[in-house]
Structure 1
Amino acid sequence: MISVVKARGRTFSAEDLELIRSLIRQGNLNRQRISQEVCRALNWRKPDGGLKDMSCRVALLRLHRDGIIELPPPLSKDNNRLRPIQFTPASDPGEPITVPLHHLGSIRFIRVSGSKQSRFWNELIERYHYLGYTRLPGAQIRYLIYTDSGVLLGAIGFSSPAWALRPRDELVGWTKEQRLKHLNLVVNNSRFLLLPWVHVKNLASKILSLTAKRLPQEWQATYGHTPVLLETFVDKERYRGTCYKAANWSYVGETQGRGKWDRLNEYKLPVKSIYLYPLHKNFRQILAGSD
C-alpha cells in the first residue's frame, strides 16, 4: 500500500490520499471542485492566500494517471476548454503595421487582471496563435502588448515550467530532489503572439528582452519567489526561433514529443526546440543549491 507519494513538488501522505479519495467518493464534485476542496483541506495556498488550484489540478491528474486515485471523467474531452471562445470585433484584424521599430515609440505591457482582460487575452490567443488557447498551468502572468499610442501589437504569457526536461536539467546539473525543491524558480514562456498584421523588424526580440527584465520583480511580488531561468519551446517545423536567438536565448536541445506533464508518454506531440534564458548569472548554483 502506498504510504507517501510526491506530485507537483508536494508530498502526499496516506492520510492525504485517503482524504482525496473520500472527496471523490462523494460523487457530486467535478475535477475543479475536488481540486479546490483538496487545497482547502491541505491548506495548499499561494503567498497571497489564494488556493493553488491549478497546481493541485496538475498533481491530481498525475496521481490519477499513476493509478493512485481515480478522478471523475472531465466535463469535456479537453478539460482545458470548458466552453468555446467567442470572437468579438475587438479582436478583428487591424490595418497592417510595417513601420520601423523606433517609430512605434515605447512598448507598453498591460498585465492581465480581471475577467474582461483575461477573456480578451484568451480570445487573441485562440484566434491567432497556432496552438490556440488552453489554460496555462500553475502560477502565471500574462500581458497584452500595445504601442505607446494604444495600438494593440500582441500578447504574451508565462506559466509553470516543464516537470522534467532533459537538456535543461543536464545544463542546470541538479538532482531530482533539487529539482523538486527549486523548480518554482523556472518559468515557461507558454505563449507569445504578435498579431499577424504586425510586421515590424526586431519587434519580437525587443518584446522578449523587455519582458525578461520586468518579469522577475512582478513574479516575486505575486508569488513570493524570484525566478532565475526562463524556458520556452519552439515548433521546429513552423519556426526557426529567430526572435529568441536575437534576444539572447540559448538553444539547448529538443523535446521528446511529450507534453510538459506527461510522465507516462501517453500523448505524442511534435518535437520542439528548447530555448533557455538565464535571469540570474548564478542560476545554476541557485537551482542546484541546497538552500
Structure 2
Amino acid sequence: MWEQSQIKRTLSAPANLARVQALIREAPELHRTALADQICTTWGFFDARGRPQRAGCLKALRALERAGRITLPPACSSPGRGGQGRRLGVAVPAPQGVGREVTELEGLALVRVDTAEHRALWNELMAREHPRGMGPLVGAQLRYLVGSAQGWLGALGFAASALQLAARDAWIGWDPALRERHRHRVVGLNRFLLRPGVSCRNLASWTLGRALRRLGADFEACHGYRPWLVETFIEPPHTGVSLRASNWRFVGETGGRGRQDRGHAAAETRKAIYLYELEPDWRARLGWVRHRHGATHRWNPPRVWMRSSGLNTSSGVRPWGTSD
C-alpha cells in the first residue's frame, strides 16, 4: 500500500536539511522546479504512479524558507497563476428549458474535467457562481461538470481532506501518526454547485450519487490509488438530512478554524462534518481489527450528538448553495 510521503517532516530532519542547504549552495543554477525534482529523486518522493511529488516538495521547500531554514533561488513565476487559474473570461450561458424533474433533462451527464477547455469552464462557473470561488484546491484533485442538452447545470470538485478535524479523527479513531500515513485515503468534496436558477428535483442527489460511484475508479486512474472515505461540510442554516438519507454519516462539527489556522487566529462558521464510506472494509484496511500486545483491538464508534447550533434536521440539504 502506498503511504503518503511526509515531505516536510523528512526534509526538516537536521541531516536532511543540511543536505538540502548544501544542494542549494553547490548548484545555484537550479531553479526551484529542478531543485524539487532532484530532491524527489534523492529522497524517493514519488506518488503511487511513480511520478515525482513536485508540488508537495515545492510546498515543503517554501515552508522551510518562510521558517528561515533555507534560502531558495528566485521564483520564475508567482505560484497559483498557472493552468489552474485559467478562465473563459465570459460568463457561462445559462441553461435553457430545464424542467422541474431530473427525468425531464436530456443528455444528463457527469463529465470529468480533463481538458484545458473544461478546466476553464469549471473555473469560470466556480469563480462567478460559487460562494467560495474556484479555489485553489489542494492536494490530489478531481473535478466534474454536470452537462445536459439544456446546458451546463453545475460542477463539483474533490481535493485533499482537512489536515485535522477533532470530530472526524475521533470517529475514525486514528492517532496522529496513523492519520499522517493514511489521510490521503480521505478526500474532500470541496466544491458542489448547482447553478442559480436551476431548480430541478433530485438533481443534487443524482449528481452526488453518480460522482461517488465513479470517484474510486477515476481517482485511481488519475492518482494511482483509491480513496476510502469522502468528507464534506454543511454550514448553517443548511442541513444534512438529504446527505444522511444517502448514507452519509454526521460525525460532529468543525472547530471554526480554517485549514492553515495553526495559531487559532482565524474564525470561521462552525460546520457540520459528514463522511461517506466508499470502501465498506476501510476499517480493516486501516488495520483496526488486529492483535496488539496479544489482545484483539475492537473499534467502538463514539456516539455523536447534534449540537444546539441552529441546524435544522427536518429540512433539505443545500451544500454550499446547491438545491435538491
TM-score normalised per structure 2: 0.72
The 3-state SS of whatever aligns with 1:137 is coil
Most deviating of 82-91 and 205-214 = 82-91
- Describe the SS at the equivalent of 2:10: strand
Deviation at 1:198, TM superposition (A): 1.3
Q: Indicate conservation of the 8 Å contact 2:36/2:58, yes or no.
A: yes
Structure 1 residue 89 displacement after superposition: 4.0
Measure the CA separation in 2 of the matches of 1:87 and 1:49. 33
Instruction: Spell out the pairing of 1:54-203 with structure 2 (5 A cutoff).
Output: 54-60=55-61, 63=64, 68-69=69-70, 80=80, 88-89=89-90, 91-95=92-96, 97-105=98-106, 107-147=108-148, 149=149, 151-203=151-203
Classify 1:30/1:156 alpha carbon distance in 2 versus 1 (closer, same or farther; 3 Å).
farther
Kindly tell me: are residues 126 and 22 of structure 1, through their superposed partners in 2, closer, same or farther at Cα, counting changes over 3 Å?
farther
**C-alpha contact (below 8 Å) 1:154/1:195 kept by paired residues:** yes
User: CA-to-partner distance for each residue in 1:120-174, whole Å, 9 max, x for gaps?
Assistant: 2111111111001222111111111113x37311111111111111111111111
Relative distance call for 1:59 and 1:161 in structure 2 (3 A) is farther
Q: Secondary structure at the match of 1:156?
A: strand
One-letter amino acid matched to 2:243? Y
Amino acid at match of 1:230: V
Distance 1:256 1:119, change over 3 A: same
Cα distance in 2, alignment partners of residues 209 and 222 from structure 1: 20
Cα root mean square deviation, aligned? 3.4
The answer for the alignment partner of 1:3 in structure 2 is none
Q: Identify which range, 248-257 or 166-175, moves more after superposition.
A: 248-257
d(CA) in 2 for partners of 1:248 and 1:53? 36
Separation of aligned partners in 1, 2:147 and 2:173: 38
Higher strand share: 1
* Matched pairs, number: 282
Which residue does the alignment assign to 1:240? 239
Contact 2:189–2:231 (Cα < 8 Å) also in 1: yes
Contact kept in structure 1, 2:7 and 2:45, CA below 8 Å: no
The 1:67/1:231 distance shift into structure 2, 3 A limit, reads farther
> Once the 2 structures are TM-superposed, how far is the Cα of residue 280 of structure 1 from its aligned partner?
1.8
**SS in structure 2 at match of 1:121:** helix
User: Which whole-Å CA distance do the structure 2 matches of 1:20 and 1:193 have between them?
Assistant: 43
Deviation of 1:207 (Å)? 1.1
TM-score (norm 1): 0.79
Superimposed CA distance per residue, residues 225-270 of structure 1 (whole angstroms, 9 cap, x where no aligned partner): 2111100122225x32454334321221111222224333344333
Q: Using the alignment, how far apart are the partners of 1:162 and 1:290 within structure 2?
A: 25
CA offsets per residue over residues 194-240 of structure 1, 9 Å max, x none? 11121112211221111111101121222222111100122225x32
Gaps of 5+ in 2: 291-324
Alpha-carbon separation, structure 2, partners of 1:119 and 1:139 = 18
Report the alpha carbon displacement of residue 80 of structure 1 after superposing the two structures with TM: 4.2
1:66, CA displacement in angstroms? 6.0
Distance 1:63 1:281 in 2: 39
CA contact (8 A) 1:91 1:124 kept: yes
Given that residues 87 and 120 in structure 2 are in contact (C-alpha distance below 8 angstroms), is that contact kept between their aligned partners in structure 1? no
Q: In terms of mean alpha carbon deviation, does 103-112 or 226-235 score higher?
A: 103-112
1:186, 1:230 within 8 Å by CA — same for their partners in 2? yes
Larger Rg: 2
Mapped partners of 2:24, 2:87: distance in 1: 33
Higher mean C-alpha deviation, range 158-167 or range 243-252: 243-252
Q: Which structure 1 residue ranges, 5 or more long, are not aligned? A: 1-5
State the one-letter code of the partner of 1:151: G
